[in-house]
Amino acid sequence: MSSKVVLWDFDGTLAWRDGLWRSALSAALDSLEPGHGIDPSRLRGRLSDGFPWHEPDRPHPELSDPDRWWARIEARLARAFEEVGYRSPRSLELAHHARHAFLAPASYQVFGDTIPTLNRIATHGWRHAIVSNHVPELEDIVEGVGLREHFEVVVSSALVGYEKPHPAIFHHALALCGRPECVWMVGDNPVADVRGSESLGIRAILVRRDGDALRKSPDLVGAGDMILAEDGS
Ligand SMILES: [Mg+2]
């Protein structure tokens, strides 16, 4: 087995979802409360705390079961609906609907350079893994957007109990990959993706946004160039 692995973040790196949680909340309102009159911008900023990835220093093995994970997240989403005027139990019904809206693969789009870059690097003997702060059903989403076949391993923080940049989620992914000798991390978050992996001696590339990082690329093509230039082919 090849001992060269690239770890990839998912959201904002390989694929994106417009508005992330906000658009799922908006979709729930549109379905269950037609004519609600709530501007989606009012939901923005109401989701900036209370998710497991907002406290990466805190492991959450007690949530490593989809039902328990969603019970906590639906309670958090319900609070966002309460902040715009809905009361329990309607807020909880809306939250449950938002959960299913969030999981629809059709709401994700794959960046144009994702598959060509994955294929190009793979032809040089690299294997791929996803390491993401995400929902328990991440692997289904990856399958639904047509990317699953490219990845040997799909690791979601929801199931592992640790959020990037916590070292344990990287250790977990590397163990599943057979502890490869050569490892890169590619992601769009300078802290969770870049600092998290670099603290373990993994070389990292910040993609698709500017930020404090040693290696940066505006796209995945440039990230592929860096990996192949530094680690030969
Ligand atoms: Mg990301």
Sketch the domain layout of the chain as residue ranges. Answer: 4-16+108-231, 20-106
- H/E stretch holding 212 reads none
pLDDT at 44: 74
Residue 1 has pLDDT above 60, yes or no: no
Torsion of CA 57, 137, 96, 46, to 10 degrees: 40
Mean pLDDT across 36-52: 86
- C-alpha distance from residue 161 to each of 61, 99, 138, 153 (Å): 4, 19, 14, 16
At 87-97, the pLDDT tens digits run: 999 999 999 99
pLDDT of residue 111: 98
57 vs 125: CA distance, rounded Å: 34
Nearest-angstrom CA–CA distance, 158 and 147: 20
Mean pLDDT, to the nearest integer, of 44-58? 88
Given a cut of 60, whether residue 218 has pLDDT beyond it is yes
Q: How confident is the model at residue 19 (pLDDT cuts 50, 70, 90)?
A: confident
Say which CATH topology domain 4-16+108-231 has.
Rossmann fold (3.40.50)
* Phi, psi (degrees; rounded to nearest 5) at 129: -140, 150
Cα(134) to centroid(ligand 1), Å: 9
> pLDDT tens across 112-160, in order?
999 999 999 999 999 999 999 999 999 999 999 999 999 999 999 999 9
Enter the tokens of residue 206.
């910040």
Please, which residues have CB less than 5 A from ligand 1, an ion?
Answer: 9, 11-12, 188
DSSP 3-state percent helix, strand, coil across the chain (nearest 5): 50, 15, 40
Give the model confidence (pLDDT) of 162-173 as tens digits: 999 999 999 999
Cα–ligand 1 centroid distance for 152 (angstroms):
19
Domains 4-16+108-231 and 20-106 share a fold: no
Ligand 1 centre to CA of 18 (Å) is: 13
For tokens 């793979």, name the residue.
122
The alpha carbon of 94 and the centre of ligand 1 are apart by a number of angstroms equal to 26
pLDDT value of position 47: 85
Phi, psi for 147 (deg, rounded to 5): -105, -10
Looking at residue 233, what is its pLDDT? Answer: 58
We find that the CATH architecture of domain 20-106 is: Up-down Bundle (1.20)
